[in-house]
């Protein structure tokens, strides 16, 4: 890390870290056995700038369990690291050792504004407020419905797919947990889906919710 550099964002994964500078430079460090640092497969305890070869500038970063993602100023999404569960969105489970454009989104004219990397799933919010999801769906964290809807890919969705349940609800941001996902809509309402065994969905029960549900706020705790 260069002293005096104007850093504007920070992201942490289970075993890696990254900072983003005002100029769009990404600096990363930590564990990288699956290539999640984008420049090595070794542990790197000293922060090092990522050799970003794309012409676009990075504006947002998110780190997951052994993988990483970045949104650029031309609304493209890049991912790298472990391809387990298809979390990278490249229609495979192959690891990527350097930042790789998620072509499925680009080819379909999807412009990305925000990305969130969870341990098993990845989500992207578009400039227009729609949500795309991919990765592991065993616990409903993709919000696509029951496993009967995933016969073609099993429990892993290896390319981004539109979350139809929220297609008519403009979304501002999404955050992914271990087995659940929560989104905040432009109107301020919260939507949640996935496993709720510990009450983590905030939906007032411990059920598994296969599709997004609105969180109804309860009484203020005393």
188 Cβ partners below 8 Å, 6+ apart?
none
Residues of the chain with pLDDT > 70, as a percent, come to 92
In tens, the pLDDT along 82-99 reads 999 999 999 999 999 999
What are the tens digits of pLDDT across the range 2-27? 555 789 999 999 999 999 999 999 99
Conformation bin of residue 108: beta by default, left when phi > 0, alpha when psi is -120 to 50: alpha
pLDDT tens per residue across span 132-155: 999 998 899 999 997 645 545 568
Cβ(28)–Cβ(39) below 8 Å: yes
Distance between CA atoms of residues 131 and 171, nearest Å: 7
Q: Under a CB-based contact definition with an 8 Å cutoff, are residues 168 and 138 in contact?
A: no
Q: Is it the case that residue 75 has pLDDT exceeding 60?
A: yes
The highest-confidence range among 45-49, 108-112, 135-139, 141-145, by mean pLDDT, is 108-112
pTM over 0.95: no
Cα distance between residue 209 and residue 188, in whole Å: 21
């Amino acid at each position: 890390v260069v002293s005096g550099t104007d850093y504007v964002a920070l992201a942490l994964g289970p075993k890696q870290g990254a900072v983003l500078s005002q100029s769009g430079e990404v600096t990363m460090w930590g564990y990288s056995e699956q290539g999640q640092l984008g420049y090595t497969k070794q542990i790197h305890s000293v922060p090092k700038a990522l050799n970003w070869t794309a012409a676009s500038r990075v504006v947002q970063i998110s780190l997951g369990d052994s993988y990483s993602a970045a949104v650029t100023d031309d609304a493209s999404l890049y991912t790298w690291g472990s391809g387990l569960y298809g979390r990278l969105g490249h229609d495979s489970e192959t690891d990527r050792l350097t930042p790789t454009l998620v072509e499925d989104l680009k080819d379909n004219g999807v412009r990305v504004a925000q990305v969130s990397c969870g341990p098993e799933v990845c989500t992207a919010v578009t400039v227009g407020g729609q949500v795309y999801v991919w990765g592991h769906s065993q616990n409903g964290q993709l919000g696509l419905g029951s496993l009967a809807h995933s016969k073609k890919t099993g429990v892993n969705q290896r390319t981004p797919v539109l979350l139809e349940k929220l297609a008519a609800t403009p979304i501002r941001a999404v955050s992914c947990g271990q087995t659940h996902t929560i989104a905040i809509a432009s109107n301020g309402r919260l939507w949640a889906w996935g496993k709720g065994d510990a009450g983590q969905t905030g939906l007032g029960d411990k059920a598994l919710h296969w599709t997004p549900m609105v969180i109804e706020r309860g009484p203020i705790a005393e």
